[in-house]
Amino acid sequence: MTSTDLFVSGPPAWPGCALGAWAAAWLAGRCAPDDVIDTMSEFANRHLVVDPDAIVDVAGDSDARLGLLTVLRRARQIEVRLPTSGAPQGLPPDPATTAGLEVGEILLIHGDVTSSSTIGLTPTLDGDTCRWTIHRFRSEVPIVRPEPLGQVEYELREAIRETATIIGGLGSAGGRSGGAELRTTLTALTARHQVILPPHDDIRATRVIDSAAQVEAIITLAGAHAPTFGVTARHVETGDSRLRRLSGLARAARAAAVNRVIVEHLPADR
């Protein structure tokens, strides 16, 4: 098994993004609860709700996925953030933010009936189990309106041109057979990074998510194959900030697109 086999053979990425979008469609009456549950099964057959502070009461649910629906049913609004070190995506200093940074994904639930504060769900995939940990922010996190996708899409197109030079360098270093293998792996990685979305009307949101998936797939390949193709430590160090910038752009674009789909189903002024 190669280093990239681990990335390609696993479940789809971004369970929080998928849950947020499908839950919004369900709350808007555009899909059934079973559709949300079926989508969650794409990530793992077993789901657990971890509630260390006993924030919500889901003890009576035999299926943790039903417990998550119980939590989401009371949301005034749902929002996805994909924070990373140095790019918290507007999240305040808080233990819940720290948890989101560790996972790289947090689903915000605004307006829960238990309090005025914001609740966050962080998913952790471990084999065939997805653990959803519930966190409460110490104060309410303001809802951020999704960024207009026109500018986001333009920036992603520029990022794809930039990452094309990265994958081109890896392919030439690996020779003809190595280049073919890279293209196959890139296709599989791109599919993994796409978000499973409910039916929606914003075609641009789908394009943005597809482009973000392509950018992150190339970044993953660059990191996994650099030692294999003899990239020196100096080259890795000088290119590290470039890759971090591209990764941050892709994550911010994905969050904006998913939140645009969520707002389509759950308008902010509803």
53 φψ region: left (φ > 0), alpha (ψ -120 to 50), beta (else):
alpha
What pLDDT is recorded for position 268?
66
pLDDT digits (tens, 9 = 90+) for 42-86: 999 899 888 887 777 665 556 788 888 888 988 889 999 999 888
Q: Which stretch of DSSP H or E encloses residue 8?
A: helix 5-9
What percent of the chain stands above pLDDT 70? 79
Cα separation, 81 vs 14, in Å, equals 11
What percent of the chain stands above pLDDT 90? 43
Going by pLDDT thresholds of 50, 70 and 90, the confidence category of residue 180 is confident
For residue 248, CA distances in Å to 66, 241, 243 come to 33, 10, 8
What pLDDT is recorded for position 54?
75
Long-range interactions of 100-107: CB distance < 8 A, separation 24+: 100/135, 104/251, 105/14, 105/15, 105/16, 105/17, 105/80, 105/81, 106/16, 106/80, 106/81, 106/82, 106/135, 107/16, 107/17, 107/19, 107/20, 107/78, 107/79, 107/80
Residue recorded with tokens 């079973």: 34
pLDDT digits (tens, 9 = 90+) for 3-17: 445 455 567 889 999
Q: Is the pLDDT of residue 194 over 80?
A: yes
Q: Is the pLDDT of residue 105 over 90?
A: yes
What pLDDT is recorded for position 87?
85
